[in-house]
Amino acid sequence: MEERQTPVQAAIRPGLTIGLISVALTYVAYFVDSTMLASGWFGLVALVLFFVLIIYFGRQYRTEIGGFMSFGTAFNFAFITMIVSGLVSLVGQLLLFHVIDPALPGVLADQSVENTLEIMERFGASADSLPPEQLDEIRTRTMENFSLTGQIKNFGIGLIIYAIIALILGAILKKRDKSLDY
């Protein structure tokens, strides 16, 4: 009899795949135009792709285990997939921000400040209404997010977000065997 994989075992390969795709997208964006990494639409596209791939791999796993999956199994699969993917992405980003281009965090911080000012202007606020000290503080906080401790802290916060997303994905991926109902 063939041995079935647990959700944790089954989630490793998809997690690695999604993580490598995430790293590849990040590096392509970096080589095309590094300021794309600070844009909201790039993050949105990556998030949608992330959801689609987890659902795809989750359905594949559900088929492998007989076509039915409980919410708990689906949640575990999605959560572990995101953790593995997040770890791969973290390593890729650490390499990019600390080895390949240590000046990139400064560029992205400047772009983030510029994006903030553009958003303020769209809502009718003047860019001059912010004192220079506050702009410097925004830039400094953004720079801290790219430090080693900042990225590890963000990954920790990301785990909470992963759990919430895994709840949603677990609800999408679950499928119960109605033939067992009486």
- Residue 52 inside a domain? The answer is yes
Q: Residues 42, 135, 93, CA angle at the centre, nearest 5°?
A: 35
Task: Determine the Cα–Cα distance for residues 114 and 9; give it in Å rounded to an integer.
Answer: 44
Q: What is residue 182's predicted lDDT score, i.e. its pLDDT?
A: 60
Q: What is residue 4's predicted lDDT score, i.e. its pLDDT?
A: 76
Concatenating the DSSP letter of every residue in the chain gives: -PPPPPHHHHHHHHHHHHHHHHHHHHHHHHHH-GGGGG-HHHHHHHHHHHHHHHHHHHHHHHHHTTS-B-HHHHHHHHHHHHHHHHHHHHHHHHHIIIII-TTHHHHHHHHHHHHHHHHHHHTT--GGGS-HHHHHHHHHHHHHHTSHHHHHHHHHHHHHHHHHHHHHHHHHH-B--GGG--
Mean pLDDT in residue range 5-22: 93
In the predicted structure, residue 85 carries a pLDDT above the cut 80? yes
The residue with greater pLDDT, 124 or 172, is 172
Question: What pLDDT digit, counting tens, does each position of 150-171 carry?
Answer: 999 999 999 999 999 999 999 9
Q: What is residue 181's predicted lDDT score, i.e. its pLDDT?
A: 63
Domain count for the chain = 1
What is the pTM (predicted TM-score) of this model? Answer: 0.86
Residue type at position 52: V
- Residue 180 inside a domain? The answer is no
Residue 90 tokens, joined: 């973290």
The residue with greater pLDDT, 109 or 75, is 75
In the predicted structure, residue 1 carries a pLDDT above the cut 50? no
- Residue 140 inside a domain? The answer is yes
- Residue 117 inside a domain? The answer is yes
Question: What pLDDT digit, counting tens, does each position of 38-80 carry?
Answer: 888 888 999 899 999 999 999 999 999 988 899 999 999 999 9
Residue 165 tokens, joined: 């997303």
Q: Decide if 173 contacts 69 (C-beta within 8 A).
A: yes
Residue 106: domain span: 7-175
Q: What is residue 5's predicted lDDT score, i.e. its pLDDT?
A: 83
Question: What pLDDT digit, counting tens, does each position of 111-140 carry?
Answer: 888 887 888 788 877 767 777 788 788 888
List, in order, residues 6 or more apart from 138 with CB less than 8 Å away. Answer: 112, 113, 116
- Residue 2 inside a domain? The answer is no
